[in-house]
């Protein structure tokens, strides 16, 4: 073995959903929004000569647009390159105990990758059979807690009372709630940040704001948490947010009517599509996200996944034991979901 290899940090990376290059596909595998970003974003004229200079290291325009939108002060908001970057920074900043951090066994599969990368001990807690989180699993001693709400890929929303239960038993560690899909669900944990100075709420522009390609994520919490995050960020990379992210992010926040409309459209399609799935023999937890997590009563998920792909319909399949008979299906346009239903109908009749 080459000597230098001893000092290399080897990690098993997170594997994102495929981004196929072929034309004419129906892409329902990475929970992107099927609709474009707000016309205010699409049509914004920008002064690209500004790219000559460094972007604002504090991304103040974007921070203050987000803070204003949520009724917070600027010092309660941290922005980053997608919520993946914000979450990684949060792991680095807050999860430095010798005790294991806790997260569900079935959840966003980046958490264990960051834990391994940053050498943070962790323990997973099994979801109940109905995929809900058993909050008492999180009452013991730990080095911090992270979970998405709604959880992914299970699409289940956990009511705020349960989150309060977890927080009440964890006053001495940071609790991170990853709200990537909250706009499709119920009440946000944001209303709890005044009561719990150890609560960090993380959001993204990638799903409900149709801007996955721009890479904007943010965290909200008590100003001391945000200040700690900024210290780590400024020790790592001052210019995380570029001119385009700042300008276009602000435009998205300004167009709340469009934003709410797109959410309503996706939720409507979700309700229709879920009923169709039931009719076709699928079952699923009630979705509070822009995707459904479904299993068929006869045909294995892997088979359906592969057959759909042959028809240029991309779904997400996880080989993970507990969920290896489930498909995660992003809600697309009505037209796309009709095509998928037609495909299932035909396939299930003939197989």
Ligand X SMILES: *Cc1c(COP(=O)(O)O)cnc(C)c1O
Q: Which residues lie near ligand X (CB under 6 A)?
A: 31, 82-84, 108, 148, 152, 178, 180, 204, 206, 212, 217
Closer to ligand X by CB, 18 or 224: give it. 18
Cβ-closest position to ligand X: 82
Tell me the β-bridge partners of 294.
327
Is residue 223 within 8 Å of residue 75, measured between CB atoms?
A: yes
CA separation for the pair 290, 288 (Å, rounded): 7
Neighbouring residues of 106: CB distance < 8 A, sequence distance ≥ 6:
127, 131, 151, 153, 154, 320, 322, 323
Closer to ligand X by CB, 83 or 295: give it. 83
End-to-end CA, the chain: 51
Minimum Å gap between C-beta 84 and ligand X is 3
Closer to ligand X by CB, 178 or 251: give it. 178
Minimum Å gap between C-beta 279 and ligand X is 28
Closer to ligand X by CB, 80 or 143: give it. 80
Minimum Å gap between C-beta 138 and ligand X is 17
Query: Residue 104, SS3?
Result: strand
Burial class of residue 302 in the structure, from the number of CB atoms within 10 Å of its CB (0-12 exposed, 13-18 middle, 19+ buried): middle
E strands, 140-187, where?
A: 145-148, 175-178
Minimum Å gap between C-beta 79 and ligand X is 11
Minimum Å gap between C-beta 303 and ligand X is 25
Closer to ligand X by CB, 206 or 295: give it. 206
CA separation for the pair 165, 336 (Å, rounded): 40
Closer to ligand X by CB, 90 or 142: give it. 90
Is residue 288 within 8 Å of residue 185, measured between CB atoms?
A: yes
Minimum Å gap between C-beta 83 and ligand X is 3
């Amino acid at each position: 073995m080459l000597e230098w290899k001893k000092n290399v940090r080897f990690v098993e990376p997170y594997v994102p959903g495929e981004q196929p290059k072929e034309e004419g596909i129906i892409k329902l595998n990475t929970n992107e929004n099927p609709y474009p970003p707000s016309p205010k974003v699409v049509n914004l004229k920008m002064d690209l000569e500004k790219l000559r200079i460094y972007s604002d290291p504090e991304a103040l325009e974007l921070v203050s647009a987000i803070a204003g939108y949520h009724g917070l002060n600027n010092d309660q908001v941290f922005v980053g390159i997608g919520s993946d970057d914000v979450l990684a920074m949060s792991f680095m900043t807050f999860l430095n105990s010798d005790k294991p951090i806790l997260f569900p066994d079935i959840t966003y599969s980046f958490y264990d990758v960051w834990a391994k990368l940053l050498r943070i001990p962790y323990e997973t807690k099994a979801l109940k059979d109905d995929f809900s989180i058993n909050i008492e699993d999180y009452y013991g001693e730990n080095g911090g807690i992270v979970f998405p709400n709604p959880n992914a890929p299970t699409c289940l929303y956990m009511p705020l009372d349960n989150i309060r239960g977890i927080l009440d038993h964890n006053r001495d560690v940071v609790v991170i709630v990853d709200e990537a899909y909250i706009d499709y669900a119920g009440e946000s944990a944001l209303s709890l940040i005044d009561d719990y100075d150890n609560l960090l709420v993380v959001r993204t522009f990638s799903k409900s704001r149709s801007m996955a390609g721009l890479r904007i994520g943010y965290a909200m919490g008590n100003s001391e948490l945000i200040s700690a995050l900024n210290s780590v960020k400024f020790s790592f990379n001052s210019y995380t947010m570029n001119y385009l992210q700042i300008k276009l992010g602000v435009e998205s926040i300004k167009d709340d009517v469009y934003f709410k409309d797109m959410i309503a459209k996706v939720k409507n399609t979700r309700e229709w599509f879920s009923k169709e799935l039931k009719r076709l023999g699928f079952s699923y937890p009630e979705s509070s996200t822009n995707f459904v997590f479904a299993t068929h009563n006869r045909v294995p998920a892997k088979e359906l996944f592969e057959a759909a792909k042959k028809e240029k319909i991309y779904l997400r399949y996880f080989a993970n034991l507990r969920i290896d008979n489930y498909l995660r299906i992003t809600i697309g346009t009505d037209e796309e979901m009709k095509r998928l239903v037609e495909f299932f109908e035909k396939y299930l009749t003939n197989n």
